[in-house]
Amino acid sequence: MDIRACLFDVFGTVVDWRTSVSREVGAFAQAKGIKGIDAVEFATEWRKLYQPSMDEVRTGRRPFTILDVLHRESLMKLIGRYGIAGLGDADIDHLNRAWHRLDPWPDVVEGLTRLKKKFIIAPCSNGNIALMVNMAKRAGLPWDCILGAETARAYKPMPEAYLASCRQLGLAPKNVLMVAAHNNDLKAAKGQGLATAFVARPKEHGAGQATDLRPDTSCVDLAAKDFIDLARELGA
Per CB under 8 A, residues contacting a second copy are: 68, 120, 128-134, 136-137, 143-147, 150-151, 168-171
Residues 6 or more apart from 90 whose CB is under 8 A from it?
Answer: none
Helix axes 129-139, 67-82, angle to 10 degrees: 80
Helix axes 50-58, 67-82, angle to 10 degrees: 130
Question: Which CB, 168 or 217, lies closer to a second copy?
Answer: 168
Question: Which CB, 42 or 143, lies closer to a second copy?
Answer: 143
Q: Shortest distance, CB of residue 141 to a second copy, whole angstroms?
A: 10
Total residues belonging to the chain = 236
Q: Shortest distance, CB of residue 134 to a second copy, whole angstroms?
A: 8
| Range 127-146 burial, b when 16+ CB lie within 10 A, else e | bbbebbbbbbeebebebeeb
Q: Shortest distance, CB of residue 74 to a second copy, whole angstroms?
A: 18
Q: Shortest distance, CB of residue 145 to a second copy, whole angstroms?
A: 4
Question: Which CB, 143 or 198, lies closer to a second copy?
Answer: 143
Question: Which CB, 39 or 171, lies closer to a second copy?
Answer: 171
The answer to whether 147 and 129 are in contact (CB under 8 A) is no
